Amino acid sequence: MKLGLIGKGIMNSSSPDLHVRLGELTGAPASYDLFDTNEQPTASLDSEVRRVMAQSYRGVNVTYPYKEEAVRLATRVGEGARLVGAANTLVFHDGEIQAENTDFTGFISGYRATVGDRHPGRVLLIGTGGVGKAVAFGLGKLGAEEIVLMDLDAGKSQRLANELINAGFPASTIAPEALETTAARCDGLVNCTPIGHEKNPGCPLSAALIRRDQWIFDAVYVPAVTEFIIAAHAADAQVVSGVSLFVFQGVDAFKFFCEDAEKRALADEKAETLFDHYKQTLLQEKNA
């Protein structure tokens, strides 16, 4: 399979390694190319998609700043892309373009693989950008009792709350000053901001707010163990790592690209192995 990624500033992406590994593990060999539009100032998502379709690519992943535009290019739109209004995966078949959002499905898969059937309960979600939207709708699909949104841009969090409510998922917003009291009444705490990334260290919440009976998710996966995750482990809370989102969104995209049902099932079976691999790799890179 010829696969690729279209976006800006993507030359350090780990996606080629992930998809080539999946191809090797499942017996469905794949190549994976990067199409960084920073390197081609006149390129657009549309022009790049048309070019790779003409070159018999099976599909591409799409990242910043093209995820919303990707939905508009599609002739078929999957549930996640429809709900979130954005796509990170485009699959090509007989001139058709299928749009999917595997950040949405990948969060759901990573959550279930980590905490099993645990009900999300009431969840505080901080950061309502692209990944925040996908995770919010994933929480809705998982049956969250309420999704409480906080963003420094109040208008953005309110728009997402309205979209969730319109889709039938209970949602509300809070101001930053209500963070502490809200965290105390929530079952889950979710970070979808860049806080905690190696280039933006810190913790989105005071460590003292995390309790043993809560679960947390950190969308940041570089480093694999963030300050938020360290604080959650110290409190003995359940942790859903951002590495799981990276792996499961990739596995789900690979499954959309792959037409062989047996190899799709094998990709699912290899997800845990890949999670362990990337967690160890990221830890080693941090300590190098």
**Alpha-carbon Rg for the chain in angstroms:** 19
Which tokens belong to 4? 């690729």
Find, among 134, 143, 148, the residue nearest to 249 by Cα.
Answer: 134
Buried b (16+ CB within 10 A) or exposed e, 96-116: ebbbbbbbbbbbbbbbebbbe
In the three-class reduction of DSSP (H, G, I as helix; E, B as strand; rest coil), residue 43 is classed as coil
129 Cβ contact list (under 8 Å, min separation 6): 151, 156, 192, 193
What DSSP assignment string belongs to 221-232? -SSSS-HHHHHH
Which tokens belong to 48? 């790049």
CB 145 within 8 A of CB 169: no
H helix runs in the chain, sequence order: 15-26, 45-54, 67-73, 79-84, 102-115, 130-142, 154-166, 179-184, 227-234, 242-257, 261-269, 271-287
Q: Which of 67, 133, 141, 279 is catalytic?
A: 67
C-alpha 188/C-alpha 111 separation (Å) is: 11
Is 279 considered catalytic here? Answer: no
Q: Would you please indicate which residues are annotated as catalytic (active-site) residues?
A: 67
